Structure 1
Amino acid sequence: MDLHFSTVLFTLQGTPVTLAMLLWAVAALIVLLVLWVWSSTARMKRQTAEIEAKAEAEKAALTEKLTSMAGAQAELTGRVQSMTEMLGNRQAELARVMSERMDGLGHRLGQSMSQQTNQTHETLRSLHERLAAIDTAQKNITELSQGVVELQSILADKQTRGAFGQGRMEAIVQDALPRGAYSFQHTLTNGKRPDCVIYLPNGAPSLVIDAKFPMEGWNAFRDAPEERIANQAAQRFRQDVGKHVQDIAAKYFLPGETHETAFMFVPSESIFADLHERFEDVVQKAARQRVVIVSPSLLTLSIQVVQAVLRDARLREQAHLIQDEVGRLVDDIVRLDDRVAKLATHFGQAQRDIEQIQTSTGKITKRGDRIGNLDVGQPPDAGEVGEVDAPEPRLPLAGE
């Protein structure tokens, strides 16, 4: 097919495009491309020139910096050499000081080792003494354990155990109260014999103490292997204590003869504590029946209160004698006050006499000074003679 410049090749958005138009467009595009390549090449040359100029400037600056760094390095090398010399001197001095200190430390260490050796010997000697004391204590503990075993065998028997509680109670009472203030195994008007009776002052009824605590039920409860048996033993123990409390109330409460409260003695503090912790109902029941359960410490405290009451009663009995003695003491104090007043008068007179004596001695001292100041080598003037011979007025001494 033959193509002409006016031949329509295609239509673009309703506009016919001819071959001439297409060729012109291609030519224009080629021209624009050549212009763009030329402008890009020129721009790249300018940028390359600028980069080369900047590189030259940076190279010059870097060269200058390297020169400066070389100078600084040389200066640093000199300083390092001087510091090396100084460190060498310091190291030598430090070595000398360390040598001296090591010598002193070795000397002190030797002395310390010697002292430590002596202390070790002393400690070992003391340790041997303590071991000997421990051996002695161990022997005493062995003997004590044997005594405990014997005590357990004693407490295994009911009568012997009762005698043990009775003996401990009697020891507490005897240590605190004077003779005549108590009685053991006293027979009451109803024929009963309590373990102890304490006589209260001013005609008050006597206080009864019972030492027969039911230990069998307690031991059964304490040694129970299981809870069921322990509960059964606890129930029996409550019954035993309740019966014993009723017996005390029935036997020992006599109006006008015995006090309305009685003591039931427990010979062990641990049993007393467990009794209050585990059997509070038993303690309360006994208290409602006016029977007080006491341990050795509480019995001791109660006895001390009784002792104070007895002492107060004795003081009241001797009150009139004390008043008479106080009256005589007041008379003696009055006489002493009169005699002290007289003595003060004598001391005042003696003080005045001493002041007069001091006045006379002062005058004598002044006269002696004047005599010592006289010049005996030349005849004195008439005025001086008159001064020496002229008598001075004086106070009369005491007795003149």
Structure 2
Amino acid sequence: MSLPEIFGLISIILLVFVSTLALIILFRKPSDGVQSDFRSVTEPIGKQVDELKDNLTKTMYESMMDFNDKINKQMVDSTDKSAQNITEFRLNVNNELTKFQEKINAKLSSDFKSLTDEINQKMGAINEKVEDRLSKGFRDTNETFLQIAKRVEVIDEAQKKIESLSTEMVSLQNILANNQARGSFGEYQLNQLLYSVFGDNNRLYQTQYTIREGKGKREAVRADAVVFMPRPIQMIAIDSKFPFSSYSKLFDNKELTKEEEEKLIQSFGQEVKKHITDIAHKYIVTGKTAEYALMFVASDGILALLHSKCPSIIEYAREKAVTIVSPTTLIPLLSSFRTITIDVERSKYAQKINEQLQLLSKDFRLFSNEWGKLNSNIDSLKKSGDKVNYRVQQITTKFDSIEQVELTDSEPKTPVLEIETEEDSLDVDQD
């Protein structure tokens, strides 16, 4: 509440009080003297009230003026302070902005530096990767060129081999064109097959072997190869034949008629049949060789042609106890011969092997007994070692207790050594 409002309230209260007092006096019907006294009393009071009112008005006016002056002064002061505060605020804001700008600049500088470092680091890593990939690419390219160079060398070698093979084909054609050369080629191939199966073993086979009969019999004959077998088979003669001239005519001329082809096949069969007859007569010798012989042809195609086009020749060979073989069919046949020979030789020594096994069994039983004794001695030695180890531990423990004993002035403590009895030792051994 303001000061003028307070003074106005006091004036109202005084007026109410005076009015109330006057009414009381009037209603009591006072006498003339009393009224005279009342007037004498009220008049000064009215004057005082008027004076008080004037004073209050004056005071209120002065108070209002003072209040107004104070307000104006406070407003001026507030304005000055506001201007000062605004100035200080502006200065503070400028300072804060300066500091903020400095922090922003520092942060930006730091971030730019970090970003620059990171970019430099990543660029360095990228450069390293690029260099590695370039180096790897150069290495791969170099290796590729080296491989290409090697492949070119291989191609050159293959070209040389092709040229050599072409030369060999020409040589082979020259060989096949000559009967004697064809015979030598067949014998060479037969020898290579025998060596691949038997190795260099003269006890299993021989080449260019002479078969002799008893005195007064026919002259000796020489087989291209013989395979030695156990009795009663003894030896199997192998003769190499290469009927290539008749065979080649079937394929050199592609415009043959069916009749011409049949004639050539018949001529080819007759040539082979003559070879079968000669082999059966020369290389199947009773008491010297097996009851059958082998006719080796150096080409699988010839054997296939005989089976497909000349079955009667195959049947004739079976009747004459002559088996026609080619490089593909001869290898398993020779392998079976080798297996039979090994089994027979092994059976010869079966009894000796059995005797040696029995002797070995006796030696093993003796060894087993000795091993049992040795194992028992090892167990006994282990038990003795455990016993000695236990006693050493006991003595060590007692020495430790002697070293750790505490001596006092009042009562000396002397460690008592416990002597292990034989019963304790036995208990330990049982444990």
How do 1:56-67 and structure 2 match up within 5 A? none
Shift of 1:136: 2.9
Alpha carbons 1:266, 1:295 under 8 Å: kept: yes
Residue type of the partner of 1:187? I
Q: Residues 118 and 181 of structure 1: is their aligned pair in 2 closer, same or farther, counting only changes over 3 Å?
A: closer
Determine which of 188, 194, 211 is the counterpart of 1:187: 211
Q: Does 1:144 align with 2:171?
A: no
* Partner SS state of residue 302, structure 1: helix
Instruction: Look up the match of 2:416.
Output: 389
Instruction: Look up the match of 2:363.
Output: 332
How do 1:1-400 and structure 2 match up within 5 A? 108-175=129-196, 176=198, 178-183=201-206, 184-189=208-213, 190-191=218-219, 192-228=221-257, 229-280=260-311, 282-380=313-411, 385=414, 388-389=415-416, 391-395=418-422
Shift of 1:149: 1.6
TM-score normalised by L of structure 2: 0.60
C-alpha separation in 2, matches of 1:391 and 1:294: 97
Report the more deviating stretch, 184-193 or 158-167.
184-193
Q: Residues 373 and 279 of structure 1: is their aligned pair in 2 closer, same or farther, counting only changes over 3 Å?
A: farther
Q: Residues 102 and 342 of structure 1: is their aligned pair in 2 closer, same or farther, counting only changes over 3 Å?
A: closer
Q: Residues 375 and 217 of structure 1: is their aligned pair in 2 closer, same or farther, counting only changes over 3 Å?
A: same
* Partner SS state of residue 237, structure 2: strand
C-alpha separation in 1, matches of 2:378 and 2:313: 78
Q: Residues 291 and 357 of structure 1: is their aligned pair in 2 closer, same or farther, counting only changes over 3 Å?
A: same
Q: Residues 123 and 274 of structure 1: is their aligned pair in 2 closer, same or farther, counting only changes over 3 Å?
A: farther
TM-score normalised by L of structure 1: 0.64
Alpha carbons 2:223, 2:283 under 8 Å: kept: yes
Shift of 1:280: 4.8
Alpha carbons 1:224, 1:233 under 8 Å: kept: no
C-alpha separation in 2, matches of 1:274 and 1:376: 117
C-alpha separation in 2, matches of 1:194 and 1:390: 102
Alpha carbons 1:195, 1:210 under 8 Å: kept: yes
Q: Residues 116 and 202 of structure 1: is their aligned pair in 2 closer, same or farther, counting only changes over 3 Å?
A: same
Residue type of the partner of 1:209? I
Residue type of the partner of 2:202? R
Shift of 1:284: 4.4
Shift of 1:115: 1.6
C-alpha separation in 1, matches of 2:329 and 2:293: 13
Residue type of the partner of 2:132? Q
Shift of 1:360: 0.9
Q: Residues 150 and 368 of structure 1: is their aligned pair in 2 closer, same or farther, counting only changes over 3 Å?
A: same
For this pair of structures, how many residues does the alignment match?
Answer: 297
* Partner SS state of residue 294, structure 2: strand
* Partner SS state of residue 210, structure 2: coil
| RMSD (CA atoms) | 3.3
* Partner SS state of residue 210, structure 1: strand
CA deviations over 1:112-161 (Å, ceiling 9, x no partner):
23321221112212322332233234323322332232122112101110
Alpha carbons 1:218, 1:237 under 8 Å: kept: yes
Instruction: Report the identity percentage.
Output: 26
Please list every run of 5 or more consecutive structure 2 residues that lacks an aligned counterpart in the other structure: 1-114, 427-431
Alpha carbons 1:186, 1:196 under 8 Å: kept: no
C-alpha separation in 2, matches of 1:313 and 1:114: 68
Shift of 1:224: 2.3
Shift of 1:211: 0.7
C-alpha separation in 2, matches of 1:102 and 1:283: 85
C-alpha separation in 2, matches of 1:357 and 1:238: 97
* Partner SS state of residue 170, structure 1: helix
Please list every run of 5 or more consecutive structure 1 residues that lacks an aligned counterpart in the other structure: 1-95
